[in-house]
Structure 1
Amino acid sequence: MFKQRIVFVHGAGQAGSAAWPRQHGMALDYDALFLRRHRFDPAAVPVESFAEDVSIVLRSLADDGRGAAGGHVVAHGHGAIAAMMAAVERPDLVFSLVLVEPDCLSLTADLPATSAHIALMKARLDEQAQTGEAPPWEAPLQIVPGVPTLVLTGGWEPLYEEIAGYLRETGALHRIAAGGHRPQDSPEGDHFIRTFIAEASRRRRTAA
């Protein structure tokens, strides 16, 4: 029996497999791909486009050469934007979503913690030239219907709890684990990710 694919999409900081130290071992049971988002590729032309990262995610979910396509997507921080957009564009390819401390600010832009954060960040951008990624509140996000979704937060920052609460209201499962902005690095956070994907994988095989 072939392994189901998992695509890991990093946030800020480390890219590729270095961004997921506790999840390396999942490659024993899954076809695990640790992506490098567009602006983290030294050879890439710098552009502020969410579409570039979405394309990377979707290419990673394409036919794997064995006639199988699709997989689970685990994304952190800013990477969660591309993960959600990919699931909206091609829900047939996304078996499940795990969004860790997602920077999905455009979903909750009118809510108090997010609104205050956006105002603060806009003020900072006005003081200096913007570089790197486009602001997350500009992402054209939509809710992903029918895709099992886990939101994992660290319980330390009202902004991320507000986003998680919004996603929970739309059907996502929300779990909190220690670890600040990187709850995936804690034993409990890693357990939540592995358990959720194992259950989504089992349901996928049962339904096939």
Structure 2
Amino acid sequence: MAVKNRVIPFAHRLEVGLLIGTVIDEMFFNSSFWGFQSYYNLNEDIALGIKYAERASGLSSYSEQFYNTSAQVDFNKAPGPGSIIMASCRWSFLYGKMSFSKNYVFPTTFAAEVDGGVNRMGDETMPYASAGLTHKVFFKKHLGIGASYRLLFYQTLDTVSTDLGSSAPTPAGTDFEKKIQVSQSLELGFTFLF
């Protein structure tokens, strides 16, 4: 029973937290993002929530190399990624306890999450979805830290679909073609459980 009993009950409790992360295969823009999330646990296994993330501004070091070529491609002229807002459903399929010594036991969960919402690129708002796995460890009965891996599926502007040369005029957002992007992200989240 000591193994089966939950140290931390989740049912009918609210979670709020902060997250930071990176889109690990972003080519042209800064890959970092930060945000917040909030979940309400319907029971011990299912939680519904909302997330907001803001992409960091600027370019990647890879895209800056193109300006030093003969074409002088300037990705600063392209609309960059902005904010993302989404609804989320989480299924905690595994609950356990980890012990690093005889005196300290840390409750832990593994969860699958699916998200759906919209992302902003320049002045355009486009659909966004993701699916991922999260491993969370609670150090206190209210405080946890988690790591997540996600697959991202979203519509975005094709940055290379129009001329971004230094001599070309700055294009409008409507000058870019739209495409479906599949990416990956890694996140670190900090959670407070009420």
> Does TM, normalized by the shorter one, top 0.5?
no
Bigger strand share: 2
Flag the structure with more relative contact order, 1 or 2, with Cα contacts below 8 A and sequence separation at least 6.
2
TM-score by length of 2: 0.24
Larger-Rg structure: 2
TM-score by length of 1: 0.23
